[in-house]
Amino acid sequence: MNVTPELLARYDRPGPRYTSYPTAVEFHDGFGPGDYADRLAEAATDPTGPLSMYVHLPFCEARCSFCGCHVVVARRQSVADAYLGRVIEESRIVADHLGERRTLVQYHWGGGTPTYYEPQDLRVLHASILDSFELAPDAEVAAEIDPRVTTVEHLEVLRDLGFNRLSMGVQDFDAEVQDLIGRHQTAEETVSSFQTARDLGFESVNIDLIYGLPGQTVESYRRTLEQVLALRPDRLAVYSFAYVPWVRPNQKRIPSETLPGRDDKFALLALVSQGLVDAGYRAIGMDHFALPDDELAVAANDGTLSRNFMGYTTKRGTEVVALGTSGISDVAGAYAQNHKRLASYYAAIDAGELPVERGVRLSPEDRLRRHVITELMCNARLDFSDVERRFGVDFRTHFAAELDELTAAGGLVDEGFVRVTVDGIQASELGTVFIRNVAMVFDTYLRTKTSERPVFSRTV
């Protein structure tokens, strides 16, 4: 791929990651608990429909300076004990609204650090949620873990409860980088957790890395990559560091001059991408890599990969209910986000209410464009006839302006990012690097943005 500094200068700009469309920027407080209740009632009319659940456990002992997640720092677990009872109660409230629709095909604990809690607490949480819901026989049951606080007993309990997938954060093994980001995690801690997970029979173990962190160099990152590849994880997520101090004040602790420049950051991405492909991994969508026999790689080959708030998935068309602070549900054509503040979340649950702070109901046009953007972000291609069959539109007429933008002189077709044929759109290998830029062409909300205040992280 001929990614030149000039190309990066033109296209490495702020843009959405499209975890959702419309993005969270469009959520508003005019959408509340009653609106979410209506959407759950609509979802309940299809009791056999696939359903996913995300459980947010936000507590950490300390906040890393690079972190962009919604976390709550609590050095004493007693501060976090009250939270589990509220999450359990929320699961009951949501279940009541869903009627007989209770079977989960995907179930994920994220954070924060789920293993911040004691193993016995995790047993109670899991059993209580499954009092209201049930897992499908082939359900994907996953948890994020932090090797620094995860014990053998934690892993034994998770496996005993039926968890079959783990995701562990590494980010970078280099000591200087770890000093700059405030996260000290030895390779030995990671290897120990990884090997224990393998010995216990977890079906899939994922490792998370981040490129673009302060102090990273090609040589230091190569050493991290070599150590990770020695473990041979089933999947890797290699995220671009989203430096958004205007959104995450903890990132203000990172001096901007310690961050790799644009060209150096891309060199880190090129290093890890080429290294993983050379090691036999398949590039999946954006940021992700998987071994060829992994179900994500198979879905990518088949063009059936999908995406939700839990990441890339083979569970296409699955609605998502989220429990806990800041969790975002995707149900019956609407996004509903829970309160972020503990006090507000607790107050809503204690009043027996759905703890929704904001959200958005998708219009028919939103649903159409969500499908288009999701297909590009997941499968790097788009079949016009499939879109027309699903939504009853003539693609070339409906998206005439977008096709003109793609094919205009100097546009993304000329750049070699995509090829437009009579049948559809296909991203090139180069285009997958800039796939967010390709998807942005179909985002009508971006066309109306007038604020100069930064909103999104950079696309590369």
Q: What phi-psi label fits residue 67: left (phi over 0), alpha (psi between -120 and 50 degrees) or beta?
A: beta
Q: What is the pLDDT of residues 68-97, one digit of tens each?
A: 788 888 877 777 889 999 999 999 999 999
First-residue to last-residue Cα distance in the chain: 14
Which pLDDT score, from 0 to 100, does residue 76 have? 75
Which pLDDT score, from 0 to 100, does residue 80 have? 87
Q: What is the pLDDT of residues 110-146, one digit of tens each?
A: 988 999 999 999 999 999 999 999 999 999 999 999 9
Quote the pTM value. Answer: 0.93
Residues of the chain with pLDDT under 50: none
Identify the CATH number of the domain defined by range 1-17+363-450: 1.10.10.920
Which pLDDT score, from 0 to 100, does residue 407 have? 96
Asked whether the bond before 22 is cis by omega within 30 degrees of 0, the reply is yes
Q: Which CATH number fits domain 18-323: 3.80.30.20, 3.10.180.10, 3.30.1330.60, 1.10.760.10?
A: 3.80.30.20
Which pLDDT score, from 0 to 100, does residue 453 have? 63
Which pLDDT score, from 0 to 100, does residue 110 have? 95
Which pLDDT score, from 0 to 100, does residue 70 have? 85
How crowded is residue 160: how many other Cβ atoms within 10 Å of its Cβ? 12
The domains of the chain are located at 1-17+363-450, 18-323
372: nearest Cα among 406, 349, 340: 406
Structure tokens at 255: 């001096």
Structure tokens at 248: 């995450």
Kindly tell me the burial class for residue 417, based on how many C-beta atoms sit within 10 Å of its own C-beta (0-12, 13-18, 19 or more): buried
Which pLDDT score, from 0 to 100, does residue 309 have? 86
Structure tokens at 334: 């609407």
- Residues near 9 by beta carbon (within 8 Å), at least 6 away in sequence: 262
Distances (CA, A) of 343 to 82, 86, 272, 346: 11, 11, 42, 5
| CA gap 223, 410 in Å, rounded | 39
